[in-house]
Amino acid sequence: LDNCDNSEIPFEDKKHIYQGMVRWTEFFFKCRDIDKDGIWENRSAVETGWEDAAYFEVGFPLASPDLNAYLAIQMEAQAKLGRMIGIDEKTCAGFEAGAKALVQKIIEKFWDGERWIAFNCETLKKSDTKSLPLFATLILGKRLPQDIIDKSIKYIFEDNAFLTPYGLASEALDSDYFAHGWSRGCVNTPVQLILCMAL
């Protein structure tokens, strides 16, 4: 939406995409927010894309900051796309307000003062892993307070953390959970791309 000529996209296509995005957002809040706290939870590893991440040790349903961050960005995109196709301003502004409220909840629920965590929304058990996918929350950029951004970057690049000669490991090298799995230590492409965009 920000980096290409959207005038070439037919109105009906934009409308179709907009309607699908709205339904998708509604799905997460209606069907994946078990405790109705405004944060959606994953029901299984399949919903995350990380497959074997160490922070899954706390079990499911799992609330995590990274996937909620993507949803906040999606809500902002809904507002932009909605304005392009003539959706009323009250609705578009509502999406933006919802995105801001979600970012605030992400900070309140998942930032422990030093790093990002995940938790099981039924047992409330918090992850104690050093999992890089949680730091994909940095995709929110300047929507986050600068001190959280600074501490997150420091945490990622401190000695014996994630940096290797080949890229960032998906689990910290000094983590008790490091195991060379897809998201338990390997250097995998998706997390590299997300963190490059975020940083």
Contact in structure between 111 and 135 (CB atoms under 8 Å) = no
Does the model's pTM come out above 0.85?
yes
Q: What is the pLDDT of residue 1?
A: 77
The per-residue pLDDT for range 3-55, each reduced to its tens digit, is 888 888 999 999 999 999 999 999 999 999 999 999 999 999 888 888 899 99
Beta bridge partners of 63: 41, 119
Q: Of 145, 170, 176, 166, which Cα lies nearest the Cα of 156?
A: 170
- What is the DSSP-derived secondary structure letter of residue 126? B
112 exposure class (CB count in 10 Å sphere: 0-12, 13-18, 19+): exposed
The per-residue pLDDT for range 133-187, each reduced to its tens digit, is 999 999 999 999 999 999 999 999 998 799 999 999 999 999 999 998 889 999 9
Helix (H) or strand (E) holding 62: strand 62-63
The per-residue pLDDT for range 105-125, each reduced to its tens digit, is 999 999 999 999 999 999 999
